[in-house]
Amino acid sequence: MTMTFGKLRVDAQIFEELKKNPSWWIKFKDNPSLYIDIRKDNQVNVYFEGGSIARIHYCNKHKKLQVFTHHKYLGLPAPSKSKLYIECSDRIGYIYDEVMKRIQTQYSQKSMGEGMNTKEKWSEKFIQGMLAVKSRNIHLDTEFAYKDIQEDIRMDLIQCEDGHITFIELKRIDDNRMLHETNKNPEVIYQMRCYKNFIEKYSSELLEYYKKVFDVKVQLGLPVPKTVPTSINPIPELIIFDRWIKSTSKRDIHRQRIYDLLKRNDIQYKVITNI
């Protein structure tokens, strides 16, 4: 099998155009609540709290950058039932504040009324997005995806510390993929084994790919880790978000069963309780 990440080109036209810093691009980059990731097909995604709010690509036909966002964020009806995203590069710079206000009103999980929404209600996507925003010094990518006849891989976070890239899977403590009622291995065990095999098999290709991702982000003036990627951690890491506020005997037993299961299967994991 040939890895397809060779499609990513540091000199792709989209990146040359973005380096000219159109006004809407500067607004995306300067917003501290957003983060921006590079995609293997020479596209760029802008994220808010784990959700993609804008997709940017270069249109060869029209020789211009195009920005697509959901019609509801633009305050417009959907063009059709099958077409929910609208190209808005000609107006996004003028209506940026209105768009962000709609996104924060309709999408944000941060607040409920006047107070902070309880973390027990936070979605996995929200947790992922907040981790990316709050770890910009090591954040290199999110939503790593690769699919072909043999592989179907999707990992949540990619971090780079001291040049060392680590692939991270994120799960909430109460995710039903984390534990069975019986001692049968849950889905997360097979996920982590699959990821480990994939990383080991394609470590050199993955390293070259992420060197290019790093270079593109530097060219575009996006936040990057302090050190250029130089190696791949062959072991993926599982981050468990323990969102339970109150402890009960049932929850304590649940936690311990998960930890014991992961240790028995040599799964590298870390537990966090807040962001």
Length of the chain: 275
Per-residue pLDDT tens digits for 113-128: 445 568 888 999 999 9
Specify the pLDDT at position 6: 76
Per-residue pLDDT tens digits for 69-87: 999 999 999 989 889 999 9
d(CA 96, CA 94) in angstroms, rounded, equals 6
Place of tokens 């902070």: 116
Per-residue pLDDT tens digits for 206-250: 999 999 999 999 999 999 999 999 999 999 999 999 999 998 999
Enter the pTM of the model.
0.92
Specify the pLDDT at position 65: 97
d(CA 213, CA 211) in angstroms, rounded, equals 5
Judged by average pLDDT, the poorest of 5-9, 184-188, 260-264 is 5-9
Q: Which residues contact 56 (CB under 8 A, 6 or more apart)?
A: 14, 18, 25, 43, 44, 45, 46, 65, 66, 67, 68
| For residues 60-74, average pLDDT | 95
